Structure 1
Amino acid sequence: METLFGVPMSWLSISLATILGITSLVLISMAMRNRILLKLALRNIPRRRAQTILIVIGLMLSTTIISASLAIGDTVTGSIRGVALDALGHTDLRLRTPLASGDAESAVFADDPDGTAFFVDRYLSSTTLGLAIKVVESDGRIDGVMPQIREVLPVLDRQSQLTESRMTVVGFDTSRQEGFGKIHDLDGQIVNLDSLSDTEVFLNRAAAEELDAGTGDRLQIVSPSGRHTFTTKAIVRNNGLAANDHRTIMSLSAMQRIMERPGQVNRIDLSVTGGITSGVDLAGQAAKDLRVQLTDPLVAQQLFDVLRSPTAIQALTTYANDTGSGELSPGDAAKILSFIDELVPGDTHTARHASRIGAILASLSNDDTVEHFMAALGEKLVTASSMANEDSSPSTPEQIQDDLTRPNDGLASISPLVDALSQLNAGDDISRYIEANSVEIPTVTVSLLKIAGEALSPQPSFTTSPDATPTDEFRMLAGDSELAAHILAALDSVNNSGRPGLALAVTALFSALQILSVDELKGDSLELAELIGNLFLTFFTIFGSFSIIVGLLLIFLVFVMLAAARSTEMGIARAVGAKRRHLIQMFTYEGFAYALGAALIGTVLGILASLVLVKMLAGAIGEEEDTAFVFKYSFTLTSVVAAFSAGMLLTLMTVAISAYRVSRLNIVVAIRDLPQEFVTSDTPPLRTRLLQLAQSIFGPFYQAYRALSSGRRGEGAFLPLVLVIILLIPPVWGVRIVWAVFKVFQPYLAIGWPLIVVGAAMAGLGLAANLAAFWSLGISLMLVGIGLFLRGMLRRSGIRESAADRSSYTFIGATVLVFWALPFDALEFITGSLDSSFEMFILSGTWMVASAVWLVMYNADLITRGLEALFSGSPHIKAVLKPAIAYPMTSKFRTGLTVAMFSLVIFTMMVFAILNSIGSDLDETPDRVTGGFDIRAETSIDLPLTDIGAVISVSDNLNASDFDLIVGHTDIAAQARQKGAKEQRFLGLGVRGAEQLYLEETLLEITHFDPIYLPTSTLLDNPTSVSEAIWDALANDPTLAVVSGDMLQSNGGPPQFGRAEFSVEGLSQDEIGPITAFEIEVRQAQGRGAASTRTVIGAIDQFAETSESDGGPMALLVTRDDLFTELSGNSLPFTTFRIRLGEEVDAGRVAAAMETVFLDNSM
């Protein structure tokens, strides 16, 4: 891994190793100066070998867990990096049409093609291709340009009769291999792309193994134009241009022929100078420059002129300065303000025109308004079209309607038509139409027609501002999709203040701004590898953190028990002149020896444990079909150093703390081996505490003075110099000062009320910063402070000290335990939604265990009395019970540590048991996951399947009686926003358009629902009845929808790694039951076209479809497929079929047969 939680691993390992080295050097130097203490400390190690072994085993736990976690992180990161680099080879950047760039693409597990692109043409025209090549070839950083066509197509091997229904078929420009590395066959011989004829292909190893193909085999490739036969020229290795998925390679001319795309490509790969990984930074710089060069200058100028208008600048400024607007982060606000700085304020014809066009677009987003608009203008529309298209024939009314409602190239296509209609006084025609038909036209439609009429009326004259041109920085910022979403959200406020549609006009400009999108494939893939590696490390760290805490408690307990066993020896040593610091040194030396051995053994065992885990993970991954991912064990030297150093330092720190504690003994009590309760704890006076604070602040200077003095006297100055170096380390110096300040105020904190103030301040800081951890810690400190304050009041009231202590400490333990045991959203009516991550899991577990142990130990005598009373009738048990509990009660501190250790272990096991039970519950209720279907079959949008039932009925390989039900749907990428929500950007989500039968038959459970849409006879406490009623409502009303559960907020739970940016505000995954329906606006991906509205009346169970082979569900809005026609004017064929089979029918057999029968549809 390159980073750990954002910190560079190299820096982390060097820092930890340096601190460990300095600490070790100091300890060794001190030991050499007083070898008697060293001998006394180490003499017990060889004397008690069994004890030594047990201690080392206990101490190595934390190092083992840290080492194993880092090794897993390294392995996952290295494996993903390896797969990504094998897949991409020398390819660093990719150019594609921006309208298809929203499709999922991964260069990690397979170098997938664009996937299913809807409503848009993914192919680049020959003009765009020529422009792109001219731009990139003029950049000296680019050393390779590869135009290509890449598609997923079915392939059949005629010799083996095996098929691959979703083969990646790539057509490369065979004359442009330079810069992309060499291709080798399985024998290591170099094969070149230019050796391919138009009837020959290369197969990579993965594809050849899937098809059982060899050199010379004849392949049939199915494309939209039919079946085409090719000969396998060679089997090549899986890397570079041959990637690591199932891949067939042919010439670009052959691919253009079978796809019927002469002169076109659907992507251009670029290679940057340098090696496979060394050119990543250079590629990022090149991508930044290319994005500027590959923007449309005319659209950029139009966008610049629109956004520099006073209205737009005011809206952007208000939005950026309003911290309550949406999910605007400080970084996003700064980016918007930087964008405003690039604008030259001024009013232009383009800006005025954009407002008019936006008003028309807003008006015509309603189908009823479109109908009346067309009727009002009639033949005048054709006349205006003739005026707008001087060099071509006028458009038909249908074409004009499509241009007005769905402009696809900024303002260019619609602007001349609007000008012509305005010159023809079309606004007056609309006014007359409204007067003549006002009774028949709905009120909403009348309002929208009036807006359109005003926009088409002659506009008042104004003084235009001087011309200005956009800067490169403006073009670069405008190409940022996240910034564009914020700009559109800001302009929506203009719409709400009486100038509707400006955001729509600007949306069209943003859609047309980029000629080509530039994807940083390699850089993004390596970042993804780092992210996933850190996720694995985080997972192991979260669950391993409790074990690490147990290990630290065990270290503490070991040294406390060692001190108890040697109390007489230590007391005699003190009696003959040894000081407390000598005892601390002795224990620290002994602990250092144990820690060194434990860290070495723990690191090795961690490596071995990670090897076993990697083997298990590799086995699990290997069971999945069609995956290019392979685990390759990796553990870097930096991680080894970090693991050893971190484990050693944690152990040493705990040893030092425990040594400090055990050194605080009374000589008489220690020699006579009496309980420590006989030792009174005296608080140092304020003067002493202030002196210690001064020593902490000026300690380095004092040690420097000692070193100089020792040098002058000819004494050893080495140790003082080392201490100076250590004390000058900022973290060490800072910790000493903070600790000294704490010791100054510690007696006052014990009163209680100062701790309440500190806790309140921390809780307030948590609310201000929206951090759940600070808020929870603050409340916990307040509860502790209240308990301590209560103790003081009880003591002052005359209650004996033991009773006061028990009452206050019981209050603290009980209230803290209850607070941390509350659901995360229990106090949300006070705090609102606070940000949290995995730290809350660790904090809550630790605080609950600590408070429960506190509660038990301060009431242990009551518990033991209860046990004695319970077994009073059994003298045998009672006789054993009394001595059994007598020893633990004589040393409550050691007993409490032991109980805490076992409690944390059991807590961790319970969490695992709960997580496992979730999987067991899903296994017992499969319909909750599958919706009651047995098979999911997917086809290609380019090879549509129009009548699946008809094909099955005439197939020799399939029996129609095996199929009980076949329903279809299509999932597409889109954008949406929730009406009335805080976030008003259009964000990405998936939309599932389903046929009516699917909605009627699916058994997916609805967990959130609006009772208004349920029949009165529906039982609200019956999930099945509610789910059926909601799905029936969707089937009968195309304006209704439901959302998937992973769109809902998770209220303090684990972070959701869904595939959608959009999320529903105001609904929690945990608060199942009745909700109030709300509206969502949906539009095409990339912001194209007008938005359609759907009323969301429910949410699907968050576990629905989680077992599907593509890694889980896409966050979806589910509705009838009528939505596709509203979004684009065209219906879409179904690309996914859900199939329910008859009883005792083998789903695996049927699925395999369907892949063969529907090969031509890429099923």
Structure 2
Amino acid sequence: MDELFGLSMTYISATMLIAFLAIMLVVGILAWRNRVMLRLGLRNIPRRKSQSVLIVVGSMLSAVIITAAFATGDTISSSIRSDAIVELANIDEVITSSEDSEGFGQPGPPYFPEEEFLRLEESLRGFDQIDGMVPHMAETVPAFSQTTSLSEGRMRVTALDPSRMDGFVPLTTLDGDVVSVEGLPVDSLYLNEKAAEELSAQAGHRITLHIGREEAEFDVAGVVRPGGMAGQSTSSTALLSLEQGQALFDRQGQINIISVSNRGGAQDGADLSRDVTKHLRGLLADSDVAAELKGLLNQPALMTAISEKRDFTRGQTREQLDTLHRELQEDGVSEELVQALSDQVVQGDVLAAIESLDMPADQRQELLDNAFDLFDDLASLSVFEVKRTLLDIADVAGSGITSLFVMFGLFSIMVGILLIFLIFVMLAAARRTEMGMARAVGAKRSHLVQMFVFEGTAYDLMAAAVGTALGLVISYGIIGLLNYIIGRLDVDFSFSYSVQATSIIAAFCMGMIIVFATAVVSATRVSRMNIAEAVRGVPENIVLGGEPSFQDRAKLLPLSIGRPLVFLWQGLSSIARGMFLRGILRSLSSVLWVIIFPIWIVDFAISLVRFSLPYMRRGWLVFLLGAVLYLGGVYSWSSAAAFTLGMTLMILGFGLMMRLLVAARPQFTEVFGLILALSGVLLVPYGILNGQGVTITIGALLLASGAAMAIPLISGKLPRRPQTIDRHAFTLVGALVLAFWLLPEDIGELLAGELQGDIEMFFISGICMVGAAVWTVMYNADLMLQGLTILTSRVGKLRPVVVTAVAYPMSAKFRTGLTLAMFSLVIFTMVVMSLLNDSFANTFRDTERIAGGWDIEGRVTFTSPIDDIRASIADNSTLSMDDFEAIGGYTFAPLTVRQVGAESQVWESYALQASDDEYLAASEYGFLTTIPEYRGDEEAVWEALRQDPNLAVIDSGAIEQANEDFDSAGSFTLDGVSITEDLEGPITVEVSEPLTGWEREYTIIAILDPPADPVGIIASRAGIDVPSVPEIPITTYRFRAAEGVDVRELSKGLEVAFLANGMETVVLEDQIADLVSFFRSFYNLLIGYMGLGLIVGIAALGVVSMRAVVERRQQIGVLRALGYRQQMVQLSFLLESSFVTLLGVAIGVTLGFVLSNNLVTGFEDQLEGISFSVPWLQIVGIIIATYVFAMLTTYFPARQASRVTPADALRYE
């Protein structure tokens, strides 16, 4: 894996390593200068070994998550790269005809004269970056072994020129002998290992190749290893000489592929691909056409449009557009310009840039057509960087999987951060008296921070090391599970575990930095204390201190911006005063700030937060930031993340402002609240009538907030106590945030319209919803305690145990809130994933709906079609027409398409499924929407297609919102069509087959149901049975078995009966079941991965329980002295943990259910058949596992507490 989030892994690992070393250097210097604080910080680690182990376990999660993600991405990238290198060997580029196919609907690269290869070979003399080129031809035909009676429906026949194998890996037998197709007898060939395996063939066996209606028999000369010219290990390949192949397929003097080998080996040859491709395209391109293109494109407005397109691209495409933009302004036609113009991605971007020009429509269309034609005429041969492309795909796949696992792991990382914060709060509480005495004898706050930083760093290093090692183990397990999942799809590919050193370094340093940063923030917080209260041991009261003046805070910003200069000046000044060590360190800090630029950014961000914090506490700045995000998300960025975060911040800011108003002027606030509520009452209906989402939002906020402020005036009870005011304010904020996030999707669209969101919304929603729920619960903790007291009034002897178990966590709101948040977050994510997984699986349980009522699909080769399948079945002794209820077929042909009357008139790639009448008559596919004439009558749609060859239906992938989730036949999308709206009328599209020049119009009358398996434009074959188009045979058949017939046996029978045609069949029900199983297994893998956060939550309970035993030792003694037995003390601690665990589980499960239901409901209009369902076994399993392991972690501290004797406890301290 070379990149992550667009950044080089080398850069990431180097940056993280430098940051890590810088942290260690700073901590080391502080430790050297404050050895007393170092000893005080480290001495506690070995004192409580079990507590230290729990802290390390909880703190290691960030390193585990990151390491597992990086190692998994590395393995996937490395496996694909290795597979590409092994399979292609020395083949770096391939050259084929620029045409898409030999003819309308024909697969495979078209042929071209062999003389073109000879001319290219002559042109390359003296070009030393290529060490070999092989002209060859490739066809796919059925094969049958006369010796073993086994068949292979897709045998790739490769005929190559043996005299030009220099630079390529030679053909090698399984015994290691080098062989060649040169001198092979006319009736002999070689098979690669895969072909020999399929046919159980070996040297001397006799096989038959079916070529159209002819047969050719060959002796197997030997079996060769796959790779390079011998074909892939997953593809059956037969090897002949070029002379044999041209005679066999009647293609004298023709080839269809040229394979190119760059200088160097199989791996480093790909590094030259860009230079070689540029040179080849320059030789193959028509310079006159390139000059015409340059003149056409060199227009100021178009150059600006191309430059704007460049801003939305990345990687090689961005570089090519840069080159194009630069070279268009230079004189002449350079090789770089031709290379850029020959790139198909660049061609698409240029056409899109033309389409965006602000000019009369007829002029724009003329410019578009001219550019399209010139691009088509630029070169008769195309160069494809096959190996470089596969290596890039490997990097993208590795980076994508890593990003996916990191995104889903963010919840666990967040939980880990909360635990670290909780740990330091607990440690500070345990040592509060000690810290107070240290402050009393002269220690400063900075000394206390350093003490905790030293201890945290020690935990941090151990946690990062253990977490990285455990992450590698977990990633190995993930790869094993992925291989198992892929293996069930009968795919001949597996991942080989591989991890780069850069990933391990980056993961270790990232995990360490995350924990260290959290530890520093936590240490800073807990260092604030009242010395007298700390020494006396009275309850904790965090001292926030006075608010710094505006001038003091304003100084922070310029200081952070010029921090390197400040460090440099301090360093030089120290050196001048003779403090050389201090001066050198300060000077090095200056250099460090510049080298590790992110540190500089973080420094400025911290200064900005410190400057803004007072205003954020007052609420108005939070509200303002939320408003900016809200308006920007709706009107500028079309971002769901910005909109939802903005709304959340606006609610929070409004609540903070109202809290201050209520505390300062209660009566004024109540009158003001009435005014706000009345304003909201007026604004909400006005916004609804006019369709103004912003007005509705503002009105609803005013109504809710105003009503909350006016309630005391109406009831006559004025809140005076600060605790009551806080409860009202923060409960209102939490309830409003929850209400907003739990709104159904249609109401959200009413507020903001359709916005774009991705996987980050899952993380944002979880954090906001769980945070609001925990916030609301904890600010109403005393009410919960009162309710529990009433409920347990008749429990008898257990009542004091239950009340005590609940009272303690509710009195320590901060700790309990953090623990609740941990459990709730993890349970929330696992529940949502489980529910969505099960609900979406419902869509694919109806196999008849997906497969249109068909049972079997059979495909034959284009070169060996079936003339009349019904007559062939009737004449076959092993099959009977009585076994079939329906038989249909179609041909799949790639085309270019554009929509008549749409804003875009660029020809886009798509496909045509030309179906026979039997297929159209027997298909039972449903429709997402139809035009009004056919609404509610699906059979009438299929009948209309049979009767009128001008009519067609199209798959849902042609709708922009749908093609992200389902397979699409190409890049074409319908303009003005939404997946949530019905078709108002027919849509006319033009289709074109560039090779034959065939064009026609189709009228789209319906859009297929998204789960339906056909892709492309589905129309009658009668539309292509015209004189201008060569006869196109049916290559794909669908069969519906008669009732009572064994579908799987029938599938095997079809393969045997149509062996000569190379028919390969698949039982559609089994295929769909395999795909559903794959996605279910992958989702379950992600659920298990996110479940790592449960380890943190359970470790948190363990830390809290162990701390509670120590902290409440005297309380335990008093309770025992009052009559509590050992079992009652133990039960009290277990009930306390049960209460926190079950409350966290309840919050997570409830929010998960509501959010999942809303999401599924929102998809019902887009995906017919989806329904909300609950995998009760999995959900209950998650809850039980969570509770059991939480109780196991709590059991030992609880047992320890129960063994405390009253005398010992009362003597304590």
TM-score tier by shorter-chain length is 0.7 to 0.9
Mapped partners of 2:641, 2:83: distance in 1: 38
| Correspondent of 1:546 among 411, 436, 445 | 411
The residue type equivalent to 1:1042 in the other structure is: V
Q: 1:344: Cα distance to partner?
A: 11
The residue type equivalent to 1:913 in the other structure is: S
Q: 1:264: Cα distance to partner?
A: 0.8
Summarize the Cα distance change of 1:874–1:1043 in structure 2 as closer, same or farther, 3 Å threshold: farther
Structure-to-structure mapping, 1:994-1005, within 5 angstroms? 994-1005=915-926
Deviations 1:223-274 (A, max 9, x none): 2362211222222222222232222111111111221111111111111112
Q: 1:60: Cα distance to partner?
A: 1.3
Q: 1:184: Cα distance to partner?
A: 2.1
The residue type equivalent to 1:816 in the other structure is: V
Instruction: Report the equivalent of 1:606.
Output: 471
| Correspondent of 1:123 among 92, 111, 117 | 111
SS class of match (1:651): helix
Mapped partners of 1:470, 1:918: distance in 2: 58
Q: 1:164: Cα distance to partner?
A: 1.0
Instruction: Report the equivalent of 1:896.
Output: 817
Instruction: Report the equivalent of 1:528.
Output: 393
Contact 1:100–1:117, Cα closer than 8 Å, also in 2: no
Say if 2:809 is the partner of 1:809.
Answer: no
Instruction: Report the equivalent of 1:1049.
Output: 960
| Correspondent of 1:1134 among 1034, 1038, 1052 | 1034
Mapped partners of 1:330, 1:1065: distance in 2: 29
Q: 1:321: Cα distance to partner?
A: 9.4
Q: 1:47: Cα distance to partner?
A: 1.5
Instruction: Report the equivalent of 1:217.
Output: 205
Structure-to-structure mapping, 1:412-451, within 5 angstroms? none
Summarize the Cα distance change of 1:741–1:1161 in structure 2 as closer, same or farther, 3 Å threshold: same
Instruction: Report the equivalent of 2:1047.
Output: 1147
Q: 1:650: Cα distance to partner?
A: 1.1
Summarize the Cα distance change of 1:785–1:97 in structure 2 as closer, same or farther, 3 Å threshold: same
Say if 2:1012 is the partner of 1:1104.
Answer: yes
| Correspondent of 1:1060 among 966, 970, 973 | 970
Q: 1:759: Cα distance to partner?
A: 2.7
Instruction: Report the equivalent of 1:513.
Output: 378
Contact 1:215–1:233, Cα closer than 8 Å, also in 2: yes
Instruction: Report the equivalent of 1:778.
Output: 646
Mapped partners of 1:499, 1:884: distance in 2: 76
Contact 2:860–2:1062, Cα closer than 8 Å, also in 1: yes
Summarize the Cα distance change of 1:520–1:785 in structure 2 as closer, same or farther, 3 Å threshold: same
Say if 2:828 is the partner of 1:907.
Answer: yes
The residue type equivalent to 1:1100 in the other structure is: L
Q: 1:862: Cα distance to partner?
A: 3.6
Contact 2:203–2:222, Cα closer than 8 Å, also in 1: yes
Instruction: Report the equivalent of 2:269.
Output: 279
Q: 1:1000: Cα distance to partner?
A: 3.2
Summarize the Cα distance change of 1:831–1:477 in structure 2 as closer, same or farther, 3 Å threshold: farther
Contact 1:148–1:171, Cα closer than 8 Å, also in 2: yes
SS class of match (2:196): helix
Say if 2:811 is the partner of 1:884.
Answer: no
What is the TM-score normalised by the length of structure 2?
A: 0.76
Instruction: Report the equivalent of 1:731.
Output: 598
Summarize the Cα distance change of 1:1101–1:538 in structure 2 as closer, same or farther, 3 Å threshold: farther
Deviations 1:846-869 (A, max 9, x none): 222222222332233344444555
SS class of match (1:511): helix
Q: 1:545: Cα distance to partner?
A: 1.7
Mapped partners of 1:177, 1:322: distance in 2: 45
Summarize the Cα distance change of 1:336–1:92 in structure 2 as closer, same or farther, 3 Å threshold: closer
Instruction: Report the equivalent of 2:152.
Output: 164
Instruction: Report the equivalent of 2:845.
Output: 924
The residue type equivalent to 1:752 in the other structure is: G
Mapped partners of 1:497, 1:1031: distance in 2: 37
The residue type equivalent to 1:568 in the other structure is: T
The residue type equivalent to 1:72 in the other structure is: T
Mapped partners of 1:39, 1:469: distance in 2: 74
Instruction: Report the equivalent of 1:1079.
Output: 987
Structure-to-structure mapping, 1:927-1006, within 5 angstroms? 927-1006=848-927
SS class of match (2:493): coil
Moved more, 70-79 or 559-568: 559-568
Summarize the Cα distance change of 1:317–1:1013 in structure 2 as closer, same or farther, 3 Å threshold: farther
Instruction: Report the equivalent of 2:169.
Output: 181
The residue type equivalent to 2:508 in the other structure is: F
Identity across the alignment (%) = 36
Q: 1:597: Cα distance to partner?
A: 1.2
The residue type equivalent to 2:598 in the other structure is: P
Say if 2:596 is the partner of 1:686.
Answer: no
Say if 2:766 is the partner of 1:845.
Answer: yes
Contact 2:529–2:542, Cα closer than 8 Å, also in 1: no
Structure-to-structure mapping, 1:166-565, within 5 angstroms? 166-224=154-212, 226-242=214-230, 243-244=232-233, 245-296=235-286, 307=296, 316=302, 475-485=338-348, 490=354, 496-497=361-362, 504=369, 507-565=372-430
Deviations 1:505-526 (A, max 9, x none): 6644433332101101111110
Summarize the Cα distance change of 1:1143–1:150 in structure 2 as closer, same or farther, 3 Å threshold: same
Contact 1:94–1:268, Cα closer than 8 Å, also in 2: yes
Contact 1:317–1:337, Cα closer than 8 Å, also in 2: no
The residue type equivalent to 1:998 in the other structure is: Y
SS class of match (2:60): helix
Instruction: Report the equivalent of 2:1193.
Output: none
Mapped partners of 2:322, 2:598: distance in 1: 37
Q: 1:148: Cα distance to partner?
A: 0.7
SS class of match (2:128): coil
Deviations 1:661-701 (A, max 9, x none): 11122223333443335756532333443455565456555
Q: 1:782: Cα distance to partner?
A: 2.5
Say if 2:142 is the partner of 1:154.
Answer: yes
SS class of match (1:664): coil
Q: 1:928: Cα distance to partner?
A: 2.6
| Correspondent of 1:1121 among 1010, 1021, 1039 | 1021
SS class of match (2:112): coil
Contact 2:479–2:497, Cα closer than 8 Å, also in 1: yes
Mapped partners of 2:315, 2:984: distance in 1: 32
Mapped partners of 2:580, 2:307: distance in 1: 65
Q: 1:716: Cα distance to partner?
A: 4.9
SS class of match (1:953): helix
Q: 1:886: Cα distance to partner?
A: 0.9
Deviations 1:785-835 (A, max 9, x none): 222222223223325333433333233323333444446675556756544
| Correspondent of 1:595 among 456, 460, 482 | 460
Mapped partners of 2:905, 2:319: distance in 1: 19
Moved more, 612-621 or 727-736: 727-736
| Correspondent of 1:1094 among 970, 979, 1002 | 1002
Mapped partners of 2:861, 2:389: distance in 1: 27
Give the RMSD, CA atoms, in angstroms: 3.6
Instruction: Report the equivalent of 2:506.
Output: 642
Mapped partners of 2:364, 2:1027: distance in 1: 24
Q: 1:1008: Cα distance to partner?
A: 3.0
SS class of match (1:1102): coil
Contact 2:323–2:337, Cα closer than 8 Å, also in 1: no
Contact 2:31–2:38, Cα closer than 8 Å, also in 1: yes
Mapped partners of 1:343, 1:644: distance in 2: 47
Instruction: Report the equivalent of 1:455.
Output: none
Structure 2 residues not aligned, in runs of 5+: 667-718, 1064-1213
Summarize the Cα distance change of 1:330–1:144 in structure 2 as closer, same or farther, 3 Å threshold: closer
Moved more, 653-662 or 183-192: 183-192
Say if 2:501 is the partner of 1:633.
Answer: no
Summarize the Cα distance change of 1:598–1:277 in structure 2 as closer, same or farther, 3 Å threshold: same
Mapped partners of 2:108, 2:46: distance in 1: 77
SS class of match (1:1081): strand
Structure 1 residues not aligned, in runs of 5+: 102-113, 346-467, 1019-1025, 1106-1112
Instruction: Report the equivalent of 1:98.
Output: 98
What is the TM-score normalised by the length of structure 1?
A: 0.79
Moved more, 35-44 or 684-693: 684-693
Mapped partners of 1:775, 1:1086: distance in 2: 45
Contact 1:96–1:517, Cα closer than 8 Å, also in 2: yes
The residue type equivalent to 2:955 in the other structure is: S
